Amino acid sequence: MTGQKHSAPPVYRSAAEARAAFRAGESRPTAGCAAGYTQANLISVPADWAYEMLLFCQRNPKPCPVLDVTDAGSWTTPLAPGADLRTDLPRYRVWEHGELLGEPTDVVGHWRADLVSFLIGCSFTFEWALADAGVPLRHIEQGRNVPMYVTERPCRPAGRLHGPMVVSMRPVPPEYLDDAIRESSLMPAVHGSPVHCGDPAGLGIADLGRPDFGDPVVLRSGDIPVFWACGVTPQAAVMASAPPFAITHAPGRMFVTDARDEQYRVA
């Protein structure tokens, strides 16, 4: 949904506290949530599609940096011992043959014994580094989900999987552009440096006010739109490739892990 303003997320003291709230039914974007804890995108596919998903991620590491892959049927991850991937995200998406069936707050009833889950790095993780460097985060200021756009840049296909790259956009004042590029580039496991700065037409984006996922964000005078590769890209591949079944996070509503952001900083 676009154009929807959200109340600011609570400042949870820990990832476990955030997950407990989501397990209890809280559903909101996780930008600005549980400072210092790494966030991850989720996609779960049948085992006979898992190799192709792994290969798709390996061939497209910028939008799809893999943090963990589960065994078939498992809903646990060492990134958050004791957490449940079926219940501990704010909202999910359930797909059949590339069509969205619904957006439940848990997927226990949809879970299958053959599902292999991929946890993919999320740019929300480096937002704390941006904020510490003084870079304003307009979507958090405005109480909105980060805007995401399907681009005209194709990903490298892998077997049956193909699709376009998705990007997230954050407006950055020009005096902070170097800081935004530097701080995000130090965290390649959560998308790293931007893929494009400036004119959105360079990515085939016609209208910043009409994101494909998330909410539109108002740019202030002089702001430069800055685009980072986005972990919603596997969902675009699901829509394009139509596997028989998949479960994903709802865009902007991530899995908050117990891993600390600094673990993914390279310097």
User: Could you read off the pLDDT of 177-202 as tens digits, one per residue?
Assistant: 999 999 999 999 999 999 999 999 99
Per-residue pLDDT at 99 exceeds 60 = yes
Q: Using one digit for the tens of pLDDT, what is the confidence trace for 80-90?
A: 999 999 999 99
What is the model's pLDDT at position 197? 98
Cα gap 85→87, rounded to integer Å = 6
Tell me the C-alpha to C-alpha distance, in Å, between residue 241 and each of 158, 168, 237, 266.
11, 22, 6, 34
Is the pLDDT at 212 greater than 70, yes or no? yes
pLDDT for res 3: 44
* Segment 148-165 mean pLDDT: 98
Contact assessment for residue 39 and residue 122, using Cβ atoms and an 8 Å cutoff: yes
Distance between CA atoms of 41 and 159, rounded to whole angstroms?
22
Q: In the prediction, which pLDDT does 13 show?
A: 79
pLDDT of 267 strictly over 80: no
Give yes or no for residue 39 having a pLDDT over 70: yes
Q: Write down the pLDDT at residue 131.
A: 93
Query: What pLDDT is recorded for position 79?
Result: 98
pLDDT tens, position by position, 58-76? 999 999 999 999 999 999 9
Is the pLDDT reported for residue 97 higher than 60?
Answer: yes
pLDDT of 10 reads 61
Domains and CATH numbers, the chain: 15-122+242-262 (3.40.1640.10), 125-229 (3.30.2040.10)
Q: What is the Cα Rg of the chain in Å? A: 17
Per-residue pLDDT at 53 = 98
Identify the sign of the CA torsion 57, 62, 125, 18. Answer: negative
Question: Looking at residue 32, what is its pLDDT?
Answer: 82
> What is the C-alpha to C-alpha distance for residues 189 and 212, in angstroms, rounded to an integer?
24
What are 234-250's pLDDT values in tens digits?
999 999 999 999 999 99
* Confidence at residue 258, expressed as pLDDT on a 0 to 100 scale: 97
In this predicted structure, the answer to whether residue 23 has a pLDDT above a threshold of 50 is yes
pLDDT mean across residues, the chain: 94
Least confident of 101-115, 124-138, 161-175: 124-138
pLDDT of 7 above 70: no
Task: pLDDT band for 6, please (50, 70, 90 cuts).
Answer: very low
